[in-house]
Structure 1
Amino acid sequence: MFARLMHWMQANQVLPAISDTERQALEAGDVWIDGEFFGGKPDFDRMLAASYHRLSDEEQAFMDGPVEELLNRADTYAIAQTRELPKPIMDFMAESGFFSLLIPKEFGGKGFSTLARSAVMAKVTPVSGILSAYVVIPNTLGAAELLIDYGTDEQKAHYLPRLAKGEYLPCFGLTEPTAGSDAASIKAEAVAFKGDDGGVKLRLNFRKRYITLGPVANLISLACRIHDPDNLLGKGEDAGISVVLLHTGMPGLKTGDRHEPIGEAFPNGPLEGTDVEVPADQIIGGVARAGDGWRMLMEQLAGGRMVSLPATAVGGIRGAAAAAGAYSMVRQQFGLQIGRMEGVAAPIGKLTSLAYMTEGARVFGCSAIDDGIHPPVVSGVMKAYTTELAREAATDAMDVLSGAGVMQGPNNVIGRGYCSTPVAITVEGANIMTRTLMVFGQGATRCHPHALNVVQAVETSDASAFRRSLIGWMGHFLKGVGRTWWRGLTRGATVRVKGAAGPTRRYYRKLGWAAARFGLFTDLAMFFVGGKLKVKGNLTGRYADVLAWMLLGFSALRRFEAEGRRAEDLPLVHYSLQLALARIQAGFEGIYANFPGPLGSLLRVIGLPLLRLNSLGRLPSDDLGNQAAVIAQKWDAQTERLLADIHQPGSESPGQGRLMHAFRLVCDVEPLIGKLKAAQKAGSIPAGEPDSLVAEARAAGVLTEGEAARVTAAREARLAAIEVDVFSPEEFFANAASAPDRAQQAAA
């Protein structure tokens, strides 16, 4: 019976087919806490025991020393205008080890943890996207990572010390006009042939685009497909995808041209090669590694998805929250600070909570990698959803700063970041593709406790393995039906967690309830949609939403536990989890409303009304949003802790330095402003802006001389901080082509 069923499933493509490249992608990583959610019965105590690391003393010293010095030295507005790093900045970065964070100490590098590399990127990116590119690429997406994992001893000895010193500046040549998210379809070709010296060589022809650091790099890791008609490499005529090291200056290699990225014009451009010839031992890992490039690419991209892109996104979210909270207390309208208006407080509460939750997810995810766990599904979630949330955060911060965010110049603290948010959303797999194809499409097979075994048994026609795996899956499915019904009936009350704090227990129960439904509906998708899942992107995207928000919500809980259950952070935890549960609810409603076939009709008519009646959660209340906003609108020990490792320039610095200086002074005199308002009500001093009535308050004995000086200083700083940049005509047009030049260019 089982054999007949297996053959029927083969003939009707009931289960998703797995190509060779997909199989390598599935095998190139680990299942982590994502498996708990796909299984439908997460063990939260075990998940809470997973590592949540901190920086070592050496790593923190680097953050507090060289990183701070770099950001203080760099004139980021000038860099954005000139679109290049000054040589003294490049030299400082090389001398201080910014290009060597990833490289082991025995090769002259820092040998930092994944968490530390992520922290450096998160600190640098909100300050300058151009500076960030020079930090991110060498430490995640350059040659060093592949050489460490796959390089020959000779390659490591030659390249790694020179990469550490900045003598080699790397870039990663992957994307082509017809190959982006689908890296397996690259057209770049390397033909193997025997050179005049008798050695095996490669002749490469390629056209790459969107290559970050491509115009300035002198070492290229190029992804290509090797064609070997004479089997000189011993891998057959089609030797497969490989990664080859190229040096600028090689005959036939063209670099230096640039694209113009939106926002900040970080170095990015095409790479072109015509009959570029290199020895075959320039394959990373040597000839023995020819054809291993697909696995290398999957691991390289996974690193970008878990490390660099979430780091830059979370750094942006945290920076946006800090700027919006400060500005809302410095800027006044209608006689009060705009942050006291509920309409303004609402986005600030959301921003502050997102900063808390996504920072927890960043640290949690990097800790897993430092423990030797490489979860590609969670990496995809982190990349897609943190970058999307960064876009939301930039929009919310722009709404708060308004004109101060629109008018460009050294004092604009949000504008360049706002304009640059589409960049992270499009790279390392565009978010549309990551959400609708990768997260659930890969996770449903890879992370499910039984699906991959069944698929493999069907593909290999192993009836015995098929029988065992299918029986296990059926038992799992029936338990999932009962678990989902019971947890829905009890609203998660049956979920048990020993290691959770009392105020947060209800969230574990809700997440456990959501996970039970998610596990069951994963089974239903595999049963009733099966091989068509790959083309049901809207449906799989909704599954991805549910999984992502379960992971993000749990990350906020993990952070709360790791940081000692700080009661003052509870508004942020409550907001984060309520937002997560509301979006999980929305994801399930979308699944119920769009599930195909007869089951979908039943879900729409009966299931959807019941789902809405017995809801997982709703969006945070206005009151909770105000509580979360207040945390960003004061300066105290909690604020300093939550803003740790965000660059805070000196008070004399334009932009962030000037704004945060005014914010601290305004917070310091808040009690004195209260005294002035009380005096106004009592008639002791006239009406008007309280901090403009210092002389009257001093004369009436409301303020002492010292208090009056503090209020005056805060007012002056506040007024200075809300000013925007003004340029003379000569300054404004200094970096623009003249009208005659533009006319000549247009006519050419």
Structure 2
Amino acid sequence: MFSLLMNWMRDARILPQISATERQALEAGDVWIDGEFFGGNPDFDRMLKENYHRLPADEQAFLDGPVETLLKMVDTHALSRTRRLPQAAFDFMAENGFFGLQIPTEYGGRPMSTLGKSCVMAKITPHSGILSSLVVIPNSLGAAELLCEYGTPEQKQHYLPKLANGEYVPCFGLTEPTAGSDAASIKAEGIVFRDTDGDIKFRLNFRKRYITLAPVANLISLACRLHDPDNLLDKGEDVGITVLLIEKGTPGLHIGDHHEPIGDVFANGPIVGRDVVVPATDILGGLEYAGQGWKMLMESLAGGRMVSLPATALSTMQLATAAAGAYSMVRTQFGIPVGRMEGVESKIGHMAAMTYMFEGARIFGCSALDRGIQPPVASAIMKAYATETAREVGTHAMDVMAGAGVMQGPNNVIGRNYCSAPVAITVEGANIMTRTLMIFGQGATRCHPHAYQVVQAVENNDTGKFRKHLLGWIGQFLLGMLMTVLRGLTRGHFTVNMPTDVAPETRTYYRRLGWAASRFGLLTNLAMFLLGGKLKARGNLTGRYADAVAWQYLAFSALRRFEADGRLREDLPLLHYSCRYALARTQQAFEGIYENFGGPLGLLLRTFGRLGLGLNPLTRFPDDDATRAAAHTMQTWNDQYRRLCGDSYLPDDPQRGFGRLMQAFRLTSEAEPVRAKIRTAQRAGRLGRGAPETLAQQAQERLVITSAEAALLVAAQQACLAAIEVDVFTPEEFYGEQAPAGLTATGDGGLEKHADQPPLAATGS
């Protein structure tokens, strides 16, 4: 019976059809906590035992030392105009190991943990796109990672020391005009032939584009498809995708031209090859790895999705939130800081909570990689949702900072990152594809406790394995139906496997997550049973499934962070907001699935099911009180604000840019108790009406405040007025006829040149 059923399922294509490249992608990496959500019954105790690392002392010292020094060396506004990194900065990077963060010490590298690399990338990225690309590519998508894993001893000895010291600048040649998100369809071709000298060689023809660092690189990891018409490699005519190492200067290779990325410009450009001939020894890993390039690509791209891109996204979230939170208290309108207006609070509260949640997810994911776990589904979630949320947070910051965000110049602290948001969203698989194809498509098959085993059994005609896992799948499906009904009726009370030791204030979120997971597991089974091979064509539906599992994963990451941080009570507003928001987005995804499932079951889901979802939701979006509490965590200069900024680079120059804003924020926060004294005196009739700053002298004379407090209030007001100024350029400076000399507003509204100001520090209005 099982044999007949297995044959029918294969012939009728009931199960998803998996190509050879899809199988390699599925089998690359590991199932992690994402499998708990697809299984429908998460074991929270086991999930909470998963590692959540902290940086070791030497890596923290690297962040506090060389990284800080490097960022102080580079004038970002000057760099945006010249688009060339000063040689001194490049030399400093080479001497201090910035290019060798994943190269072993025996080859001259300075190896760091995955979390350490992520933190370095996160600190550098918001400061400069040029610096960021020079750190991210060599330490994630360059040749070093693949050489360490697959390189021959000779290749390691030759390339790794020169990569570590900056002699080789790498780039990864993958994307083509007809192969972007669909990397398996690359057209770059290599023809295997035997040269007149008797050696096996490859004749390459290719046209790559969007290649980061290509204009300045001298070592290319090139992905191409090898064809061997004479079977010289003994692997058939179609050898498959292969990675080759090609050096600049090889005849027929054209490299050095630029694209111009949106926002903060960095080195990016095309690579073209016409009849480029290279020896077979240029295969990364040697001849035995001919045709193994797809596996290498999957592993390399997965690293970028969990490490470099989440670091980039999180760092821009932190910067935008820190800047907008500070600016909202520095800028006053209608006699109060704009941050006390509810519309502004709603933006900042959301920004603060999203930053808190995604920082937890970043550290959690990097900790898994450091443990040797490679979770492709969780990595895809982080890539897509971190970069999308960073764009949203950047937009909120622009709304809060208004003119200070849109007027460009050295004092605009968020504009460049806002403009650059589409870059992270586009690279390594556009987010549309990641959301609608990768997360649920790969997760439903690989992370499900039985699905992939059933698919393998059908493909291999293994009746015994088929029987075992099909019966297991049916049992899991029936139990899932029962648990979904019970947890719906009880709202998860008494029916979810609750963790044994978590903060009491957070137990409600575990209960709701367990309830949500059972519904998600059931809906996953229904999709695989009833839609099967049609799922690939139902991108909108699979995108909603991706939303459901992604927001569950992110909510748990926030909970994991709260436990790892020691259950800090001052962070509870951020945890409450982020978990409520994530669960509300999960609820929203379920509603979309019910409304669009299709077929006879879809009718039931759209009617009775949708009614039940509305009457018995997981949760509602955060209310105004929750939003206000979350916003306040980033609106006072204190230990919590500095801690939540993490290892972000906060310049200390009080005359310019972020440093000027932080100076004003610190002073106005310190002056708030002084204002409170004046307001109390006003209510008691001891002082007249007016803003506290205008009453400083009178308050001092009437002994409401001390002279030191009056001086602090005046200093805070002056700092705040300076911090809201935007950059002004003369016609000569604006049209590039001379470098900005620095302008500042004088008391009478005129403009006065200041010779003692540093170059490029243009301020004023």
| Structure-2-length-normalised TM-score | 0.95
Q: Deviations over 1:197-243 (max 9, x none)?
A: 22111111000000010111111100000111122222211111010
Task: Write the letter of the residue equivalent to 1:411.
Answer: N
Could you tell me which residue of structure 2 aligns to residue 679 of structure 1?
Answer: 681
Task: Write the letter of the residue equivalent to 1:698.
Answer: Q
Could you tell me which residue of structure 2 aligns to residue 667 of structure 1?
Answer: 669
1:465-476 matches, within 5 Å, as 465-476=465-476
Alpha-carbon distance in structure 1 between the residues aligned to 2:82 and 2:554 = 38
Choose from 697, 704, 711 the match for 1:702: 704
Runs of 4+ in 1 over 6 A off after TM superposition: none
Could you tell me which residue of structure 2 aligns to residue 435 of structure 1?
Answer: 435
Q: CA deviation at 1:183?
A: 0.8
Alpha-carbon distance in structure 2 between the residues aligned to 1:251 and 1:702 = 81
Choose from 548, 552, 558 the match for 1:546: 548
Instruction: Confirm whether residue 604 of structure 1 aligns to residue 622 of structure 2.
Output: no
Could you tell me which residue of structure 1 aligns to residue 54 of structure 2?
Answer: 54
Q: CA deviation at 1:444?
A: 0.5
1:466-505 matches, within 5 Å, as 466-493=466-493, 494-495=495-496, 496-505=498-507
1:468-617 matches, within 5 Å, as 468-493=468-493, 494-495=495-496, 496-617=498-619
Instruction: Sort the Cα spacing of 1:422 and 1:6 in 2 relative to 1 into closer, same or farther, 3 A.
Output: same
1:275-294 matches, within 5 Å, as 275-294=275-294
Alpha-carbon distance in structure 1 between the residues aligned to 2:194 and 2:121 = 44
Contact 1:81 1:735 in 2 (8 A): no
Instruction: Sort the Cα spacing of 1:735 and 1:52 in 2 relative to 1 into closer, same or farther, 3 A.
Output: farther
Instruction: Sort the Cα spacing of 1:103 and 1:543 in 2 relative to 1 into closer, same or farther, 3 A.
Output: same
Q: CA deviation at 1:277?
A: 1.1
Task: Write the letter of the residue equivalent to 1:110.
Answer: R
Task: Write the letter of the residue equivalent to 1:471.
Answer: L
1:390-401 matches, within 5 Å, as 390-401=390-401
Alpha-carbon distance in structure 2 between the residues aligned to 1:562 and 1:613 = 35
| 3-state SS of paired residue (2:216) | coil
With 33-42 and 230-239 compared, the bigger mean Cα shift is at: 230-239
Q: CA RMSD in A?
A: 1.3
Could you tell me which residue of structure 1 aligns to residue 758 of structure 2?
Answer: none
Q: CA deviation at 1:84?
A: 2.0
Instruction: Confirm whether residue 714 of structure 1 aligns to residue 716 of structure 2.
Output: yes
Q: CA deviation at 1:269?
A: 0.6
Q: CA deviation at 1:682?
A: 4.3
Instruction: Confirm whether residue 634 of structure 1 aligns to residue 636 of structure 2.
Output: yes
Unaligned runs of 5+ in 1: 737-748
| 3-state SS of paired residue (2:214) | coil
Alpha-carbon distance in structure 2 between the residues aligned to 1:735 and 1:31 = 58
| Structure-1-length-normalised TM-score | 0.97
Could you tell me which residue of structure 1 aligns to residue 270 of structure 2?
Answer: 270
Q: CA deviation at 1:5?
A: 1.6
Could you tell me which residue of structure 2 aligns to residue 740 of structure 1?
Answer: none
Q: CA deviation at 1:465?
A: 2.0
Number of residue-to-residue matches in the alignment: 737
Task: Write the letter of the residue equivalent to 1:464.
Answer: G
Could you tell me which residue of structure 1 aligns to residue 750 of structure 2?
Answer: none
Instruction: Confirm whether residue 688 of structure 1 aligns to residue 690 of structure 2.
Output: yes
Task: Write the letter of the residue equivalent to 2:269.
Answer: G
Alpha-carbon distance in structure 1 between the residues aligned to 2:252 and 2:540 = 44
Q: Deviations over 1:558-585 (max 9, x none)?
A: 0000111111111111001000000000
With 385-394 and 494-503 compared, the bigger mean Cα shift is at: 494-503
Could you tell me which residue of structure 2 aligns to residue 741 of structure 1?
Answer: none
Alpha-carbon distance in structure 2 between the residues aligned to 1:219 and 1:579 = 45
1:220-369 matches, within 5 Å, as 220-369=220-369
Contact 1:101 1:111 in 2 (8 A): yes
Could you tell me which residue of structure 2 aligns to residue 22 of structure 1?
Answer: 22
Task: Write the letter of the residue equivalent to 1:479.
Answer: L
With 255-264 and 227-236 compared, the bigger mean Cα shift is at: 227-236
Q: CA deviation at 1:623?
A: 0.3
Q: Deviations over 1:8-44 (max 9, x none)?
A: 2112111101100011111111000011110001100
Q: CA deviation at 1:620?
A: 0.4
Instruction: Confirm whether residue 87 of structure 1 aligns to residue 55 of structure 2.
Output: no
With 79-88 and 350-359 compared, the bigger mean Cα shift is at: 79-88
Alpha-carbon distance in structure 2 between the residues aligned to 1:341 and 1:104 = 53
| 3-state SS of paired residue (1:693) | helix
| 3-state SS of paired residue (2:307) | helix
Could you tell me which residue of structure 2 aligns to residue 154 of structure 1?
Answer: 154
With 316-325 and 78-87 compared, the bigger mean Cα shift is at: 78-87
| 3-state SS of paired residue (1:225) | strand
Contact 1:529 1:596 in 2 (8 A): no
| 3-state SS of paired residue (1:269) | strand
With 81-90 and 577-586 compared, the bigger mean Cα shift is at: 81-90
Could you tell me which residue of structure 1 aligns to residue 177 of structure 2?
Answer: 177
Q: Deviations over 1:478-503 (max 9, x none)?
A: 11111111111111112221022111
Contact 1:651 1:660 in 2 (8 A): no
Alpha-carbon distance in structure 2 between the residues aligned to 1:202 and 1:681 = 85
| 3-state SS of paired residue (1:498) | coil
Task: Write the letter of the residue equivalent to 2:187.
Answer: K
| 3-state SS of paired residue (2:208) | strand
Contact 2:338 2:344 in 1 (8 A): yes
Task: Write the letter of the residue equivalent to 1:318.
Answer: Q
Alpha-carbon distance in structure 1 between the residues aligned to 2:367 and 2:234 = 40
Contact 1:436 1:541 in 2 (8 A): yes
Instruction: Confirm whether residue 726 of structure 1 aligns to residue 728 of structure 2.
Output: yes
Q: CA deviation at 1:685?
A: 4.2
Alpha-carbon distance in structure 2 between the residues aligned to 1:399 and 1:349 = 13
Q: CA deviation at 1:97?
A: 1.0
Contact 1:692 1:715 in 2 (8 A): no
Could you tell me which residue of structure 2 aligns to residue 379 of structure 1?
Answer: 379
Task: Write the letter of the residue equivalent to 2:713.
Answer: V
Alpha-carbon distance in structure 2 between the residues aligned to 1:652 and 1:658 = 4
Alpha-carbon distance in structure 1 between the residues aligned to 2:723 and 2:2 = 73
Alpha-carbon distance in structure 1 between the residues aligned to 2:648 and 2:655 = 15
Could you tell me which residue of structure 2 aligns to residue 454 of structure 1?
Answer: 454
Contact 2:654 2:662 in 1 (8 A): no
Q: Deviations over 1:668-688 (max 9, x none)?
A: 110001122233444544433
Task: Write the letter of the residue equivalent to 2:647.
Answer: D
Q: Deviations over 1:322-352 (max 9, x none)?
A: 0110000000000000101111111101111
With 342-351 and 194-203 compared, the bigger mean Cα shift is at: 194-203
Instruction: Sort the Cα spacing of 1:653 and 1:239 in 2 relative to 1 into closer, same or farther, 3 A.
Output: farther
Q: Deviations over 1:260-309 (max 9, x none)?
A: 11101111110000011111111100111101100000001001101000
Alpha-carbon distance in structure 2 between the residues aligned to 1:692 and 1:257 = 58
Q: Deviations over 1:167-206 (max 9, x none)?
A: 1010000000000111110000111111232211111100
| 3-state SS of paired residue (1:632) | coil
| 3-state SS of paired residue (2:273) | strand
Alpha-carbon distance in structure 2 between the residues aligned to 1:685 and 1:202 = 87
Q: CA deviation at 1:638?
A: 1.6
Q: CA deviation at 1:700?
A: 2.8
Alpha-carbon distance in structure 2 between the residues aligned to 1:73 and 1:696 = 46
Q: Deviations over 1:494-520 (max 9, x none)?
A: 222102211100100000000001111
Contact 1:34 1:447 in 2 (8 A): yes
Contact 1:223 1:243 in 2 (8 A): yes
| 3-state SS of paired residue (1:725) | coil
Could you tell me which residue of structure 1 aligns to residue 117 of structure 2?
Answer: 117
